[in-house]
Amino acid sequence: MKQGRFSPGFLILVILVAVIALFVTFFPQSPIIPQQPISEIIAMAEKGQVKSIEVEGNQLLVTTTQGEQFKSLKESSSSIYELLGPASKNIEVGIKPESSFDWSRLLMGMLPFLFIGALLFFMLRSARGAGGQAFNFGRSQARVIVGNKPTVTFNDVAGVDEAKGELEEVVEFLKTPEKFLALGARIPRGVLLIGPPGTGKTLLARAIAGEAEVPFFSISGSEFVEMFVGVGASRVRDLFNQAKRSAPCIVFVDEIDAVGRHRGAGLGGGHDEREQTLNQILVEMDGFDSHTNVIVLSATNRPDILDPALLRPGRFDRVVVLDRPDINGRKAILEVHAKGKPLAESVDLNTLAKETAGLSGADLANLVNEASILAARRDKKAVEMIEFEEAIDRVIAGPERKSRVISHQEKKMIAYHESGHALVAKMLPRADPVHKISIIARGMMGGYTRLLPAEDRYLWTRSQFNDTLAVDLAGRAAEELMFGEISTGSGSDLEQATILARKMVTEYGMSDKLGPRTFGHKEQLVFLGKEITEQRNYGEKVAQEIDEEVYVLVDQAYSVARGLLTHHKAKLIQIAERLLAEESIEGEELEKLFNEPVSSPEALLPIHQG
Which residues does the annotation mark as catalytic?
418
Q: Which is nearer to ligand ADP, 201 or 476 (CB)?
A: 201
Span from 62-70, 199-207, 571-579, 584-592 in contact with ligand ADP (CB under 6 A) = 199-207
Q: How far is the CB of 158 from ligand ADP (least distance, A)?
A: 4
Q: How far is the CB of 468 from ligand ADP (least distance, A)?
A: 28
420 is a contact residue toward Zn ion (CB under 5 A)? no
Q: Which does 198 bind (CB under 5 to 8 A by kind): Mg ion, ligand ADP, Zn ion, none?
A: ligand ADP
H-assigned helices in 103-247: 103-129, 161-175, 177-181, 201-212, 231-245
Residue from 13, 83, 142, 160 in contact with ligand ADP (CB under 6 A): 160
Q: Which is nearer to Zn ion, 158 or 561 (CB)?
A: 561
Could you give the 3-state DSSP secondary structure of residue 535?
A: strand
**Which x/- pattern over 298-327 shows residues binding ligand ADP (rule: CB under 6 A)?**
-x----------------------------
451 is a contact residue toward Zn ion (CB under 5 A)? no
Cβ count within 10 A of residue 269:
7
- 8 A C-beta contact, residue 238 and residue 142: no
Span from 125-133, 186-194, 210-218, 471-479 in contact with Zn ion (CB under 5 A) = 471-479
158 is a contact residue toward ligand ADP (CB under 6 A)? yes
336 is a contact residue toward ligand ADP (CB under 6 A)? yes
C-alpha to C-alpha distance for 437 and 582, rounded to whole angstroms: 10
Q: Which is nearer to ligand ADP, 196 or 509 (CB)?
A: 196
HSE at residue 512, side-chain half, CA atoms within 13 A, is: 2
Q: Which is nearer to Mg ion, 177 or 196 (CB)?
A: 196
Q: How far is the CB of 595 from ligand ADP (least distance, A)?
A: 38
Strands (E), 391-520: 434-438, 448-451
Q: Which is nearer to Mg ion, 28 or 197 (CB)?
A: 197
Q: Which does 477 bind (CB under 5 to 8 A by kind): ligand ADP, Zn ion, Mg ion, none?
A: none
Q: Whats the size of the chain, residue-wise?
A: 610
Span from 136-144, 194-202, 344-352, 393-401 in contact with ligand ADP (CB under 6 A) = 194-202
> 248 preceded by cis ω (within 30°)?
yes
Helix axes 385-397, 361-377, angle to 10 degrees: 130
- Say how far residue 91 (Cα) sits from the centre of its chain: 89
446 is a contact residue toward Zn ion (CB under 5 A)? no
Q: Which is nearer to ligand ADP, 90 or 153 (CB)?
A: 153
At residue 131, what are phi and psi to the nearest 5 degrees?
A: 90, 10
- 8 A C-beta contact, residue 71 and residue 34: yes
Q: Which does 190 bind (CB under 5 to 8 A by kind): Zn ion, Mg ion, ligand ADP, none?
A: none
Q: Which residue from 476, 486, 475 is spatially nearest to 418, judged by alpha carbons?
A: 475
Q: How far is the CB of 196 from Mg ion (least distance, A)?
A: 11
203 is a contact residue toward ligand ADP (CB under 6 A)? yes
State the amino acid at position 472 in one-letter form. Answer: D
Q: How far is the CB of 331 from ligand ADP (least distance, A)?
A: 11
Could you give the 3-state DSSP secondary structure of residue 250?
A: strand
CA distances from 427 to 25, 447, 470, 587 (A): 97, 21, 11, 16
At residue 144, what are phi and psi to the nearest 5 degrees?
A: -105, 130
Q: How far is the CB of 159 from ligand ADP (least distance, A)?
A: 5
**Which x/- pattern over 360-379 shows residues binding ligand ADP (rule: CB under 6 A)?**
-xx--x--------------
Residue by residue, DSSP assigns 71-104 as: EEE--SSS-HHHHHGGGGGGSEEEEEPPP---HH
Residues that bind Mg ion in the complex, under the rule CB under 5 A: 202
Residue from 150, 188, 190, 198 in contact with ligand ADP (CB under 6 A): 198
Q: How far is the CB of 421 from Zn ion (least distance, A)?
A: 5
At residue 81, what are phi and psi to the nearest 5 degrees?
A: -70, -40
C-alpha to C-alpha distance for 251 and 237, rounded to whole angstroms: 13
- 8 A C-beta contact, residue 114 and residue 17: yes
At residue 252, what are phi and psi to the nearest 5 degrees?
A: -115, 120
Residue from 493, 545, 583, 591 in contact with Zn ion (CB under 5 A): 493
591 is a contact residue toward Zn ion (CB under 5 A)? no
Residue from 91, 157, 239, 256 in contact with ligand ADP (CB under 6 A): 157
Q: Which is nearer to Zn ion, 157 or 554 (CB)?
A: 554
Q: Which is nearer to Mg ion, 218 or 419 (CB)?
A: 218
C-alpha to C-alpha distance for 110 and 18, rounded to whole angstroms: 13
200 is a contact residue toward ligand ADP (CB under 6 A)? yes
State the amino acid at position 67 in one-letter form. Answer: G
Q: Which does 475 bind (CB under 5 to 8 A by kind): ligand ADP, Zn ion, Mg ion, none?
A: Zn ion
Q: Which does 361 bind (CB under 5 to 8 A by kind): Zn ion, Mg ion, ligand ADP, none?
A: ligand ADP
Residue from 197, 287, 358, 563 in contact with ligand ADP (CB under 6 A): 197
Residue 261 Ramachandran class (φ > 0 left, ψ -120 to 50 alpha, else beta): beta
Residue from 306, 333, 357, 510 in contact with ligand ADP (CB under 6 A): 333
Residue from 281, 424, 475, 510 in contact with Zn ion (CB under 5 A): 475
Residue from 189, 201, 274, 426 in contact with ligand ADP (CB under 6 A): 201
Strands (E), 258-330: 294-300, 318-321
Q: Which residue from 434, 446, 440 is spatially nearest to 595, judged by alpha carbons?
A: 434
- 8 A C-beta contact, residue 418 and residue 449: yes
Give how many residues touch Zn ion by CB under 5 A. Answer: 2
Q: Which is nearer to Mg ion, 254 or 467 (CB)?
A: 254
395 is a contact residue toward ligand ADP (CB under 6 A)? no
- 8 A C-beta contact, residue 505 and residue 514: yes
Span from 92-100, 209-217, 485-493, 538-546 in contact with Zn ion (CB under 5 A) = 485-493
- 8 A C-beta contact, residue 306 and residue 300: yes
Classify strands 59-64 and 69-73 as parallel, antiparallel or unpaired. Answer: antiparallel
Could you give the 3-state DSSP secondary structure of residue 225?
A: coil
Q: How far is the CB of 294 from Zn ion (least distance, A)?
A: 54
| Cβ contacts of 346 within 8 Å, gap of 6 or more | 384, 385, 386
C-alpha to C-alpha distance for 219 and 254, rounded to whole angstroms: 6
Binding site for ligand ADP (CB under 6 A): 157-160, 195, 197-203, 299, 333, 336, 361-362, 365
Positions touching Zn ion (CB under 5 A) are: 475, 493
